[in-house]
Structures are given as structure tokens and as C-alpha cells.
Amino acid sequence: MHVGRIAHPHNLPGGARAVAPSAIRAEGQIHTDQEGLRPYPEPEALSAEGLRETREEFVRAARNAMDAGFDAIELHGANGYLLEQFLHPHTNRRADAYGGSAENRARFVAEVAQASAEAIGAERVGIRLSPYNTFNDLPPHDAVTAQYAALAPSLKGLLYVHVMSNPHEGFAETARVIRDGFGGPIILNGGFTRDSAQVALEAGRADLVSFGRPFIANPDLVSRMQRGAELAAPQFQSFYTPGPQGYVDYPAL
């Protein structure tokens, strides 16, 4: 993953800078160890050379993962980070081949996916998307379905597309467009129970359903679901905090 504009110099290596599709500062604050909460800085718009370097960074990370023994990698194209910043008209105001239309906004994401697939094999590359996401200062807009319709065909051949479910009334149609355009395995995620996941699978809306927060809170999640046992609730106050508490101290049944 690459956070793009959701960064601060205090949280970056020396000499690194916050970059994004366009020089649009995110509203809000980010935690830094040195000074606590600080406003997001205005990012530097990626140049043509910066685009090339960033693609290569994704590729290098994919190769490093293979060298480390991983089975596959998942590109983070969701939650308001760099790849989604290219997809969103609020954060992507470029006037070159990477902005201005849904097809152009999809170009960088498609290139990163294709370059990663060429480096380690498409069967080892998945991607996560979050249509209708407003996290990290992405305001709602009316072209979500068109944007993902432009992106989905360029992802053909990848291992899977991992889609974050959203209660927005347009999500079902957008998810269908992604599924039809991609043509490969779809994973849905977000707010599912065992029963609602089964409904989604039987309805053909997904090939797999993934669980995040329930898995954090239930080290024996699979066993509990197999037995129909009650699930423990996650401790939200411990999310994104240092140390083991809230990560490895949830008890099994």
C-alpha cells in the first residue's frame, strides 16, 4: 500500500515527502509521535517521473513479498489511500493522461496492477476496492459506478477483486458492474455475519466473504462459526494502538 496524501513528514523516513495525484490537502489531523495530532500537509502532485517511481515501488514491494515467502499480495486500492486517490475526482484533478475522465483516473491503478502481475504473476495479485468510501476526506460524488466500470476490465486476470461493502443505495449496482467487468473471483467484506455472508454467496454476489473485525476479536472465528457459537465483540478503543492488547489477548471459547 501507499498512503499518498494521508501522511505527515514526522511519520516518514528522512527526506521522504507526501505525494498524491494532485496537491489537495486532506482535511483533518494525523497522529505523530513527535507532536501528537497534526494537520495533514499539502501533498506534492506526482510528476511523470514520480508516477514511474511509484509504480516501481509497488512492483518492488510485490517482489519482496514473494522473496519473503508470501503466497500472494493484495494491492490496497481502498480507504482513501493513494490508489483510491487516483480514482476519486476530489483528489485527482490532473489534466494529463491520468485525470479528467473515469478512464484516465483508472489508468494509474490499472498500470500498478498490470506491472505487479507481470513481475510476480497475475495469479499472485489481488486488489482491494471501496466504492462509496468517504474515509480520509473523500466526499461523495455521482460518478462512482462509471468510475469502477472503467476500472474493472483492466483488472482481468488478477487473482481476485476484494470489495468493501457499503450501505449506499448505489452499491449493489456498482458491485455488479465490478463483478461483470472483472469476470474473476470477487471477495466481499464489511459488516457480514455468518448468515448474511451465506446469503451473499448463494445470491451470486460474491465467491468469498472475508471477515476483519470479527477475526481480530475471535481467534477461533472459524470454529465459532462452524458451531454457531456467539462471537466476541471487538474492542474498538484498542484499534491502531501499539502493543499486544486488543490484538492477541482475546480468549478462545
Helix axes 171-182, 144-151, angle to 10 degrees: 10
Report the sign of the C-alpha dihedral through residues 224, 228, 230, 232, in that order: positive
- Strands 125-129 and 36-39 turn out to be unpaired
Q: Tell me, what DSSP letter sits at residue 80?
A: T
In one letter, which amino acid is 135? F
pLDDT at 5: 98
Show the low-confidence residues of the chain (pLDDT under 70).
Answer: none
For the full predicted model, state whether its pTM sits above 0.85. yes
CA distances from 96 to 101, 140, 223 (A): 10, 23, 51
Distance separating alpha carbons of residues 83 and 174, to the nearest angstrom: 18
pLDDT at 4: 98
The set of catalytic residues is 81
Instruction: State the CB neighbour count (10 A cutoff) for residue 245.
Output: 11
Q: Which residues of 6-39 are buried (b: 16+ CB within 10 A; e: fewer)?
A: bbbeebeeeeeebbbbbebebeeebeeeeeeeee
pLDDT of 200-212, one tens digit each?
999 999 999 999 9
- What CATH fold (topology level) applies to the domain 46-210? TIM Barrel (3.20.20)
pLDDT of 34-81, one tens digit each?
999 999 999 999 999 999 999 999 999 999 999 999 999 999 999 999
In one letter, which amino acid is 209? V
List CB contacts of 6: < 8 A, sequence separation 6 or more: 26, 30, 40, 80, 81, 136
Left if phi > 0, otherwise alpha if psi is -120 to 50, otherwise beta: which for 210? beta
